[in-house]
Amino acid sequence: MKRYERLAEDIAERIRSGVLAPGDRLPSVRQACQSHGVSPATVFQAYYLLEDRGLILARARSGYFVRESAQHLLQEPQVAYVAARTTSVDVSELVFSVLGSLKDPQTVPFGSAFPSPHLFPLARLARSMAQGLKKLSPHEVVADMTAGNPELRRQIALRYMAGGVRLALEELVICNGAMEALNLCLQCVTRPGDLVAIESPAFYASLQVLERLELKAVEIPVHPREGIDLQVLAESLERLPIKACWFMSSLQNPLGASMSEDSKRTLYSLLERHQVPLIEDDVYAELNFGGKPARPVKSFDSAGLVMHCGSFSKSLAPGYRVGWVAGGRFAEQISRLKLMTTLSPSVPAQAAIADYLQHGGYDRHLRRLRHALEAQQGAMLAAAARHFPTETRVTRPSGGYFLWFEFPERVDSLQLFQLALAQGISLAPGPIFSANRRFGNCARLNYGYPWDARSEQAMALLGRILQSF
Ligand SMILES: Cc1ncc(COP(=O)(O)O)c(C=O)c1O
């Protein structure tokens, strides 16, 4: 054990045993240095680790505090999921049947892919829509279709710059949501029958795209905290003619795993050595509880090998369908594919978001949104600890709005899904996240809706159903 890990374990033990109670303030870094005889860097690392584990939380300008639910939280899943295999993909029917069940507004939306629309500044966006449209000249109404709204492109590039990613404006292709961007990227670098490395578990829509394009999946295990298993990826790249990788290096859906900067750098070197392009899906970047987005693999891209896809769907404007890709050396080709298929995302929607980014207070909104999501995560974790079987394991992502639950082996999550739905509760069962129908005892739950008595009752009901297996 490293020194900071020993310190973290020591504090964790004091929390578990109740010596440090929920709400207690941890010693300041200076005090901790003195009492443990360690450097400030060691204390910071230990506190970051405890924060990652969901045991403590930082409050701006006040220090670190023991989380309310810290003593009672369920364990985290510990190991990366099993080894890679090459598979044809056939999950669409299952995915559609699950998604179809989400339409009823009376259903408790734990299975939803979006946070609550009430967390978005929809009225302010509507004003930006009016403003943005007023500013558009008749020429631009047509011209912006091919090139994209120039102010929107500039604003997106500025956000990349603020995050330490240097980008040529020509690299940016504005798309109909990240979903179109991801589809185009994959089409751009593969032909039917090719092998594509994806995560296991993976975002179910990526499996559907592979299915549609008749591509084969090489599933690479993801560690619930550290992300892609680089060892397995390295071996797979040596052994198999993989044509592209589609990964989420931060706040992976469904696990919430975020790779460290070092791992991202290693991942990039590996791909550069094999000249395999990376489609980096980073749609949850702005929902990092730590504040600014984590550095993407794109930031190491010196060869134009990374196609970095982003979106406003999850952080600002769900139905507007505006996303983008910073396409590296593939940008021109992606842009042409887009012109050949959908031509352009809606020009008014682009104008609205461009105006909002300039005048709407996006960063203020993001701070509020992250804060709400973090609190809701705490509430769902605490409710799970109260109601779910004690052997249940659950992730503690540092952002986004999903928790991944690993239930006891005896639980069949597809059956759980049906039973819960009959009681008005949706959830996303594990098998929809795998080309091989794995994760039969797992499920993804959404905590993106404000927590209330109905959420608590739904967790209690799920707990009773789980106990019946
Ligand atoms: C991981 C991931 N990538 C991409 C998307 C699609 O984003 P958009 O709504 O911008 O098309 C989603 C939406 O659910 C997602 O979860």
Domain(s) of CATH 3.40.640.10: residues in the chain: 120-362
Between β-strands 278-281 and 306-311, what pairing exists: parallel, antiparallel or unpaired? parallel
Please give the distance, rounded to the nearest whole angstrom, from the Cα atom of residue 308 to the centre of ligand 1.
Answer: 13
pLDDT level of residue 426 (50, 70, 90 thresholds): very high
Domain(s) of CATH 1.10.10.10: residues in the chain: 3-71
Would you state the pLDDT for residue 81? Answer: 65
Tens digit of each residue's pLDDT (9 = 90 or more) over 295-307: 999 999 999 999 9
For 400-410, letters b (16+ CB in 10 Å) and e give: bbbbbbbbeee
pLDDT tops 60 at residue 113: yes
Tens digit of each residue's pLDDT (9 = 90 or more) over 358-368: 999 999 999 99
Please give the distance, rounded to the nearest whole angstrom, from the Cα atom of residue 265 to the centre of ligand 1.
Answer: 24
Q: Could you give the percent of the chain with pLDDT greater than 70?
A: 96
Domain(s) of CATH 3.90.1150.10: residues in the chain: 88-118+364-467
Domain 3-71 in CATH 1.10.10.10: yes
- Judge if the beta carbon of residue 283 lies within 6 A of ligand 1: yes
* Spatial distance between the Cα atoms of 83 and 237, rounded to a whole number of angstroms: 14
Tens digit of each residue's pLDDT (9 = 90 or more) over 285-333: 999 988 889 999 999 999 999 999 999 999 999 999 999 999 999 999 9
What's domain 120-362's architecture?
3-Layer(aba) Sandwich (3.40)
pTM: 0.86
pLDDT tops 60 at residue 84: no
Position in ligand 1 atom list of the atom nearest CA 322 = 10
Fold of 88-118+364-467: Aspartate Aminotransferase, domain 1 (3.90.1150)
Please give the distance, rounded to the nearest whole angstrom, from the Cα atom of residue 283 to the centre of ligand 1.
Answer: 6
Reduce the DSSP state of residue 113 to 3 states and report it. Answer: coil
Least confident of 60-64, 337-341, 370-374: 60-64
Look at residues 125, 35, 20, 123 and name the one whose alpha carbon lies nearest to residue 66. 20
Would you state the pLDDT for residue 70? Answer: 61
- Judge if the beta carbon of residue 253 lies within 6 A of ligand 1: yes
- Judge if the beta carbon of residue 179 lies within 6 A of ligand 1: yes
Query: Going by CA atoms, what residue is nearest to atom 6 of ligand 1?
Result: 179
